[in-house]
Structure 1
């Protein structure tokens, strides 16, 4: 029998997981819709979405930090604390979105030129980027609205918003790309407008649900009242955004290093990466749900059972990781069926790294859970340091030396990713055990700032 803690965590996690998978599938759908326009259109969209994905990822990391603060405020039961956390988070996310929007507006051509030196691709990608950049503004609001509902335990509401957005995007994008009745065919620009209109629908839905949820909007604090809280809010969530940046840029550097391998080895790694991302979505959602529960408990001051809850969550996550590893094993045995046209040399490369990506979910699951739990109890800066040291000072240099210096095989090159996870496991585990013991004994954690209850 599953305990109530695990059942509650699962009820929070499954909408988060489905939402993440749908977000991954959105790019695939856009690719299918644009594919008939030819390789140049696909490449231009790929360049623009690479730039956008990096900026949206930073905004998402900021909103995840806001989600933890909102969860603590929710646990405290204090409406003013919830209100201040929401508006502070929204202000920070909007400021980041405006900064990125201005960056694209001013330096868009230079950013595209960094990715491609083809004039035709640069022209199409910049035109696409000029429209799609407005998504940054809408996304900054939808992300904080989603964080608000997730922090309250209503993870199904953001999922419903995305389920609404998906068909709207497909229908409008298809009509605008190919033309429909009196609507002229806009080609690649049609895909950009379709995405923009679709996220607008999701924004309206979430705003409507926020209005129905209570008096948050009517209790919006004034600028003078909220400004002292913004810097404290930013100070707590900035390490989470920095963590995303170093991991994202680090993965890009890995890919640049892998590009020095043979074409067959590089294609093999390129084929595996999307499956790894999709396969770990539930674990990430599980970890986010655990962080929400822990943050709410910290806000309420009810921390007596958190040590037991963390142990239960860890056992359940590691069990789930075994099923993911099994799924990756089945994937390794089905590569020729999934990709019948690939060369035998690529299949050989895939077979050589199969033990590594089959093992990867087990250790990555533990690290993901540790990282999210530690952030929820105010250890974001420490998690950032661990990621920076293990990736940037050890794993990436070792990978570069092996591939560029010693011309190592694909096995040893790809092995640096699970090796990095193994290096992280020990320090993350130590910090988690230390803090879990403090929570179990009821000791306060200095790095956590919880709302002060009024007498």
Structure 2
């Protein structure tokens, strides 16, 4: 392991980049699972894409919950690593894994009981509903593997080994593509399973990733089997403390994930071609935006460490100014990426209907502007969270989502029947709604005098 972060000097922009880039590539590959599935399924036509989008929206609810607790575990692990306490590290790791597996079990039971009827109610026709059901049944393996894999990824990120989770995806994603192609198209004597074949590829890749991360943990730490005791006296007390710490952070991510997937289910009420275009563009938005989000997370981690070492406000301002300038450059690159995808979409998706492609390309004005307020808001949110203002950050996200984004999306689709362009524009408007709440709080500067989050 690297030396404790508490012993490192005030970080530079290069330090943030060193922490952020492996997280970015790993996040791109995580979101890229959906992009890959959509791309490989797109030759089957719009109904197959609709089935994939519908099943993905339902499964995404549970994956989002798992990812939210993994993000909280990542901060907890980083605190333990900064303090150089092996008992704390062991407690944080096993507490996070216990919570992740419990959420997975409850979530899969809920999907088994209610996922089918929900898909039946939202699908455009019985074939789409049936294919979505079949995809979701196999995708349950992905959810179980990610329950383990995301927690272990958070452990390695928190200890500064951000490349190990990246390596796991470099192993799993190519296998995902190959296996998906075989089972979608029936190559090498395998059955041609269409949409379900994409789920088989995703499950194979996810299992390999979880296996690699488990092996890496055992090889480096022995899973802390030689460390005696628990941080809070007993394992149960450690799990309870971990859950209490994680709740406000997880609630923020859970709200964002639930709101996104509720909106995706609302998008299903658009016409098939417009819904197909939304199904294609949303994963690209997630994939392209990951660098800005990873940069903001890395910035937040370093801000927390600086506050813990009582670094002066002037030094914090200098550090954030550099991080903010780099975030602006990243936003410009993301916008350029969006423009490229729109321009090349006829070649990327040659088999799609002309109306679907026209809708997809027409999103470009929104995509050109979206990265800038989104990236700036992310820097603010992660900085405030690092300073302990987790409740404030949670409120900004939750109320902007549930008092603006979700109702606006529902009204535009269900009552005004507007084109998909204006539905997607709600994402940009949401960032503008959050902008003053985040930036005025940060400018006020109270967060600079915050103590490091309680590590008890």
Alpha-carbon shift at residue 309 of structure 1 (Å): 2.3
Kindly indicate whether residue 241 of structure 2 is the aligned counterpart of residue 244 of structure 1.
no
Kindly indicate whether residue 329 of structure 2 is the aligned counterpart of residue 319 of structure 1.
yes
The structure with more radius of gyration: 1
Aligned to 1:105: 112
CA distance in 1, matches of 2:337, 2:184: 37
Match of 1:229 among 238, 251, 259: 238
Aligned to 1:23: 30
Aligned to 1:14: 21
Alpha-carbon shift at residue 242 of structure 1 (Å): 2.6
Aligned to 1:140: 147
TM-score by length of 2: 0.82
TM-score by length of 1: 0.82
CA distance in 2, matches of 1:179, 1:336: 26
Kindly indicate whether residue 205 of structure 2 is the aligned counterpart of residue 198 of structure 1.
yes
Alpha-carbon shift at residue 64 of structure 1 (Å): 0.6
Root-mean-square deviation (CA), in Å? 3.7
Alpha-carbon shift at residue 102 of structure 1 (Å): 1.6
CA distance in 2, matches of 1:61, 1:338: 32
CA deviation string 1:50-82 (max 9, x = no partner): 322221111011101110111111111212112
Aligned to 1:291: 300
406 and 195 in structure 1: CA distance in 2 versus 1, 3 angstrom threshold: closer
Aligned to 1:422: 432
Alpha-carbon shift at residue 432 of structure 1 (Å): 2.8
Kindly indicate whether residue 197 of structure 2 is the aligned counterpart of residue 187 of structure 1.
no
Alpha-carbon shift at residue 381 of structure 1 (Å): 2.2
Alpha-carbon shift at residue 155 of structure 1 (Å): 0.8
CA distance in 2, matches of 1:96, 1:77: 29
Alpha-carbon shift at residue 406 of structure 1 (Å): 6.7
CA distance in 1, matches of 2:309, 2:11: 19
CA contact (8 A) 1:71 1:296 kept: no
CA distance in 1, matches of 2:52, 2:68: 23
CA contact (8 A) 1:61 1:241 kept: yes
SS of alignment partner, residue 185 of structure 1: coil
Match of 1:379 among 372, 376, 389: 389
SS of alignment partner, residue 187 of structure 1: coil
128 and 271 in structure 1: CA distance in 2 versus 1, 3 angstrom threshold: closer
Match of 1:151 among 154, 158, 161: 158
CA contact (8 A) 1:66 1:86 kept: yes
Match of 2:288 among 279, 282, 287: 279
Aligned to 2:309: 301
CA distance in 1, matches of 2:148, 2:179: 22
SS of alignment partner, residue 209 of structure 1: helix
User: Which piece of structure 1 moves more, 153-162 or 52-61?
Assistant: 52-61
CA distance in 1, matches of 2:60, 2:348: 27
1:73-88 aligned at under 5 Å gives the runs: 73-88=80-95
Alpha-carbon shift at residue 437 of structure 1 (Å): 4.9
Alpha-carbon shift at residue 147 of structure 1 (Å): 0.4
Q: Which structure 1 residue ranges, 5 or more long, are not aligned?
A: none
Give aligned pairs, total: 441
CA contact (8 A) 2:28 2:288 kept: no
95 and 12 in structure 1: CA distance in 2 versus 1, 3 angstrom threshold: same
CA distance in 2, matches of 1:74, 1:432: 27
User: Which piece of structure 1 moves more, 7-16 or 171-180?
Assistant: 171-180
CA contact (8 A) 1:370 1:429 kept: yes
CA contact (8 A) 1:336 1:347 kept: no
User: Which piece of structure 1 moves more, 330-339 or 420-429?
Assistant: 330-339
Q: Which structure 2 residue ranges, 5 or more long, are not aligned?
A: 1-9
CA distance in 1, matches of 2:146, 2:69: 12
Alpha-carbon shift at residue 186 of structure 1 (Å): 6.4
CA contact (8 A) 2:20 2:298 kept: yes
CA deviation string 1:432-454 (max 9, x = no partner): 344x5543x5x525xx2135xxx
Aligned to 1:449: 454
CA contact (8 A) 1:37 1:187 kept: no
Kindly indicate whether residue 57 of structure 2 is the aligned counterpart of residue 50 of structure 1.
yes
CA contact (8 A) 1:87 1:220 kept: no
CA distance in 1, matches of 2:343, 2:42: 29
